[in-house]
Amino acid sequence: MIVAERKPLEDIREMIAGYKKILIVGCGTCVTICWAGGEKEVAVLSSQLRLASKKDGNELEILEATIERQCEKELVEALKDKVQQVEAVLSMGCGAGVQPIAEIFPDMPVYPALNTTFVGMPEGEGVWVETCRACGDCFLDKTGGICPIVRCAKGLLNGPCGGTNNGKCEIDSEKDCAWTLIYRRLEQQGRLDAMRKYYPPRNFQAVIRPGKVETLPA
């Protein structure tokens, strides 16, 4: 899922300085699951903004809305009546949520409240880690399901660099060296020949950015 993190409050306050009435839009899918932009966090952010504006003596009215997915045209259009009442929209969706709103309401300034960080999974309660970089040329079949492009700092395709330090990565003694993990996994499955093969340089342009996927009609 897409993982995001809320921006610090003063950055957000700078963006919406001067507006009297704004709409904060939450997104009900990925950012809810990673506790960043769900209905709860929308309420917390609006409460903080109201507190701050009251403290500074300027007037601020906030409308709140959380839709199922911000990256869906029809769902964003449903916000029309609320958007018309406000001067600016603060989106708590990931990057792929802020832009549809900006596109569908072109004359309305739309601001991001979150920093989208990576595609990942939960590691513990309230902790998420990156597991996929969406490189467009998946390599997982060759490494027993451990992605070296994400989990190896240098993204090597051909076995460990000289910097493996007791199974940990040279640059961070907390992080495991991806290729040590891959070696153990392949050894366990008896598929070490996958690691012995030579892999040519990666096609960095497998997906011409910004990517586009066109599937044949279902």
Contact residues: another protein, CB under 8 A: 8-10, 28-29, 32-33, 35, 38-41, 43-44, 47-48, 50-52, 54-57, 66, 125, 153-167, 170-171, 179-180, 182-183, 187, 192, 195-196, 198, 200-201, 204
Beta bridge partners of residue 172, listed in sequence order: 169
Which pair of structure tokens corresponds to residue 158? 């051909």
The smaller minimum CB distance to another protein, of residues 104 and 119, is found at 119
The smaller minimum CB distance to another protein, of residues 78 and 192, is found at 192
Min dist. Cβ of residue 45 to another protein (A): 10
Give me the count of residues in the chain: 218
The smaller minimum CB distance to another protein, of residues 18 and 57, is found at 57
Which pair of structure tokens corresponds to residue 41? 């966090």
Distance CA 2, CA 198 (A): 32
What is each CA distance from 85 to 28, 80, 108, in whole angstroms?
22, 9, 11
Burial string for 125-152 (b: 16+ CB within 10 Å, else e) reads: eeebeeeeeebeeeeeebbbebbbbbbb
Distance CA 95, CA 101 (A): 11
The smaller minimum CB distance to another protein, of residues 104 and 176, is found at 176
